[in-house]
Every structure is written in structure tokens, then in C-alpha cells.
Amino acid sequence: MKCNVFVLIIPLMSAEQESVDSSEKLERLRDGWIAGFPRDDERRIHPDLIPYDELSEQSREYDRVAARGIIGILERLGFAVVR
């Protein structure tokens, strides 16, 4: 019997979230984005390109909701999500 296994680790705790957040920010910075307000996609300005601990609670919650959404999608596709 053939068994395909897919493992995806999605960190949801704050210290691990900070690491994921930092890698996403580094990617944007490498692509020429800068921190600033207001957000301007044409000029590549984003207000959340700041250290994780300086983000608003609203921005942190946005990240948590997105992570939970990904988990839900994987479960609906039949993947076993182990926490």
C-alpha cells in the first residue's frame, strides 16, 4: 500500500510567530519595500515592516487568523493536522 505523507509545521505561538513574521519582512525588504505610513503598494511602502514586538495587536491577530485559516483548509483537504 502506498502512503503519501505531507508534513507542514505552522508555528502559532508568539515567539515562533515572530520568527515567521521576520522572514516575511526580510523577503519584502529584499524586494525593495520600506517601512512607512500609509501603505502604498506602488511605492512599496508598508506600515508593518517594523519589529514584531512593535506591531499593533490588530496586525498580530491578522497573522493568527491567517494561520488558523490555512490549518482549516488543510483539514478540509483531508490532511491530518497535528498540534
Strand residues in 15-76 grouped as ranges (E): 34-35, 45-46
SS3 content of the chain, % helix, strand, coil (to 5): 50, 5, 45
Domain residue limits at 43: 28-55
Asked, for residue 10, whether it belongs to a domain, the answer is no
A 10 A CB-CB count for 55 gives 19
Predicted TM-score (pTM) of the model is 0.59
Residue 12: strand, helix, or coil:
coil
Q: How many folded domains does the chain comprise?
A: 1
- pLDDT one-digit tens code per residue, 4-42: 555 555 555 555 566 566 778 889 999 999 999 999 999
- pLDDT one-digit tens code per residue, 55-79: 899 988 887 787 788 888 888 888 8
Asked, for residue 34, whether it belongs to a domain, the answer is yes
